[in-house]
Structure 1
């Protein structure tokens, strides 16, 4: 009897240890927005640096890809540069994967042109008319007599969706305006920067953390896309950055989220060129 009790005790200890090791060895998958990709990678690396047992894999693909993966349970955290639609949240709940929305930062979208472009500022309303194809020549807005080349993120991007709703449609929910047929849809912020840097007639938009000296950011409604102006809500094209995680999740996933919202995590968000949520 004593031997049986001892064996039972050892078995329970082994089961507990196996459960603990499984929790520690869990590879947390984070998928989605390319805008959120770099900052999420930095957050993940910092977290793993302080937690040697942690394993995190971060991949892009766009906000829509990330949210779809969260709905079907193939990712642990979805990165998104737009808020999830009611239909997406319902689909997740119906699939048994109800999602919690976590805002970890803010981003201002920089509207960019070639440095040689004489246009330095436009209104949000005019930018919307340019991207819808109503304005097609730079001379109509004070620039050279040249056709405007439109650069946009592709449709899987949350940035694409946000810009269409907030700028092309002017925030009017019933509007059916779309990007102009001639728009070039590109797969990443970096691709838009590269194209704008090489084409004097191009105009595009990118997350402000992806700006560099090869392109020029326009003032919008008299405000530049800076951390200060996004923080004060002065800059008119700004949006929240999201993580979507299972409402019922492992402690490992909860710990990663808590780190992202901690002072150390929020400092990383700021270092990457975004505005901290806290």
Structure 2
């Protein structure tokens, strides 16, 4: 029996690495690692691929190419994103990027200045005056919580009083019951009862949600790339080569979307 394709995956991408293998009928061994350790596993040829978030840093690339000299193969397979959600009956249509951050940020991030916390002030809606925004966030140590810290509040603590909720599904259920809630979710496959709130990024005029074009053009700010990395192009007729071809295919992109991440590209259905 052939050895399985070995993938060192940073949380929360283990499920995605396994799903590609199942969909392509390829045996895959997936093991979780922190980012630097995942890169080291591939550099030492203990694993065939690393599935990691963000851009490949110069130090990681140098390590992969070090000994023996190799040509790094880095495939953009999708985007990891976070998105704010609100009750379907909430009249707010979109949020400016900085406002989205400020609504869940600690006062200490702006030297104690008063931050927006009131739906009435945000909406200019008399019926919502004095109704405080109730922030529902993923657990601090979870993959979603770590992504929130990296993508939404990179240099800032979470506001006092924000509620930590166990999962995307639990956050959505709570938001669907509470018109005052503002939830942040990680994997959008779950969202159906609440409404995803578009974001106006930077100096843009139009609001955008986390779709492939908006992420690629910088119109949606709360996302980072997901990369499949190896330091040697696998033989095309071997299982590792077949796995890489599947990941790059339209079927591979469908798995990305099915598991709640955003594809790099995908034809209209």
Do Structure 1 and Structure 2 share a fold, with TM-score over 0.5? yes
Question: Structure 2 vs 1, CA of residues 79 and 226 (structure 1 numbering), >3 Å: closer, same or farther?
Answer: same
Task: Give SS of 1:131's match.
Answer: coil
| Equivalent position to 1:82, from 28, 35, 54 | 54
Structure whose alpha-carbon radius of gyration is higher: 1
The answer to whether the 8 Å contact 2:212/2:264 transfers is no
Task: Give SS of 1:168's match.
Answer: coil
Residue 260 (structure 1) shift: 0.4
Q: Deviations over 1:221-246 (max 9, x none)?
A: 14242536536737423534323444
| Equivalent position to 1:220, from 192, 199, 215 | 199
Residue 86 (structure 1) shift: 5.7
Residue 220 (structure 1) shift: 1.2
Counterpart of 2:109? none
Counterpart of 1:257? 244
| Equivalent position to 1:233, from 200, 204, 217 | 217
Which of 123-132 and 77-86 deviates more? 77-86
Mapping of residues 32-43 of structure 1, within 5 Å: 32-34=10-12, 36=13, 39-43=16-20
Question: Structure 2 vs 1, CA of residues 103 and 114 (structure 1 numbering), >3 Å: closer, same or farther?
Answer: same
Question: Structure 2 vs 1, CA of residues 43 and 229 (structure 1 numbering), >3 Å: closer, same or farther?
Answer: same
Q: TM-score, normalised by structure 2?
A: 0.66
The answer to whether the 8 Å contact 2:187/2:259 transfers is no
Counterpart of 2:98? 125
Are 2:162 and 1:177 aligned?
no
Q: TM-score, normalised by structure 1?
A: 0.64
Q: Which runs of 5+ in 1 are unaligned?
A: 1-20, 49-53, 170-175
Q: Deviations over 1:182-234 (max 9, x none)?
A: 44455654444344344443323234632422111112114242536536737
Counterpart of 2:153? 168
The answer to whether the 8 Å contact 2:169/2:191 transfers is no
Residue 104 (structure 1) shift: 0.7
| Equivalent position to 2:87, from 111, 114, 126 | 114
Q: Which runs of 5+ in 2 are unaligned?
A: 107-114, 201-205
Task: Give SS of 1:70's match.
Answer: helix
Question: Structure 2 vs 1, CA of residues 90 and 201 (structure 1 numbering), >3 Å: closer, same or farther?
Answer: farther
Residue 124 (structure 1) shift: 0.7
Q: How many residues align?
A: 239
Q: Tell me the distance in 1 between the aligned counterparts of 2:30 and 2:170.
A: 20
Q: Tell me the distance in 2 between the aligned counterparts of 1:78 and 1:268.
A: 17
Counterpart of 2:28? 56
Question: Structure 2 vs 1, CA of residues 40 and 207 (structure 1 numbering), >3 Å: closer, same or farther?
Answer: farther
Counterpart of 2:121? 140
Structure with bigger helix share is 1
Task: Give SS of 1:25's match.
Answer: coil
Q: Tell me the distance in 2 between the aligned counterparts of 1:82 and 1:187.
A: 25
